[in-house]
Amino acid sequence: MPVVKKVHHVALVVADLEAALTFWRDALGIQVAERREVPAEAAEIAFLPLGESELELVRPTAQDTGLARFLQKRGEGMHHLCLEVDDLDGMLQQLRQRGVELINETPRSGADGKRYAFIHPRSAGGVLVELYEVP
């Protein structure tokens, strides 16, 4: 049986990264480990590690992406919850068998070798859920 190991990260969509950091970094005091543009996702991301997990602040850098539409429609706030699993293919198969609606039927691969797939919020209580398999 595939296993969910931990909350890998929680991603928050923001309109203005610097403004968001005045709360998360300056007021709460959470350190920013890295900040970079991810052209493949049309986003600028700040990574704020927190123990075994991390917060990610994500700002869309183009208007025509799912992320940008999400921000336009729902405003700033939580974008997705990412769970690390030990066996992504096995977990996707288990979810499919249970009738869970997947956004990515087959896993995608990030630049850093992590494999991931998203579950539709319709099947997850309104929460966009990302699954990660870390090599």
Nearer to Co ion, 29 or 111 (CB): 111
Nearer to Co ion, 1 or 109 (CB): 109
CA distance 68 to 36: 17
> Which phi and psi (to 5°) does residue 13 adopt?
-90, 135
Nearer to Co ion, 1 or 39 (CB): 39
CA distance 115 to 6: 16
| Number of residues located near Co ion, criterion CB under 5 A | 3
CB of 130 to Co ion, least distance (A): 5
For residue 88, state whether it binds Co ion (rule: CB under 5 A): no
For residue 82, state whether it binds Co ion (rule: CB under 5 A): yes
For residue 11, state whether it binds Co ion (rule: CB under 5 A): yes
Piece of the chain touching Co ion by CB under 5 A; list 10-18, 30-38, 93-101, 105-113: 10-18
Q: Estimate the share of the chain in helix, then strand, then coil, as percent rounded to the nearest 5.
A: 25, 40, 35
CB-based burial label for 71 (10 Å; 0-12, 13-18, 19+): buried
For residue 133, state whether it binds Co ion (rule: CB under 5 A): no
Instruction: List the one residue from 12, 55, 60, 130 that touches Co ion (CB under 5 A).
Output: 130
CA distance 19 to 109: 31
CB-based burial label for 81 (10 Å; 0-12, 13-18, 19+): middle
Nearer to Co ion, 99 or 126 (CB): 126
By CB under 5 A, name the binding residues for Co ion.
11, 82, 130
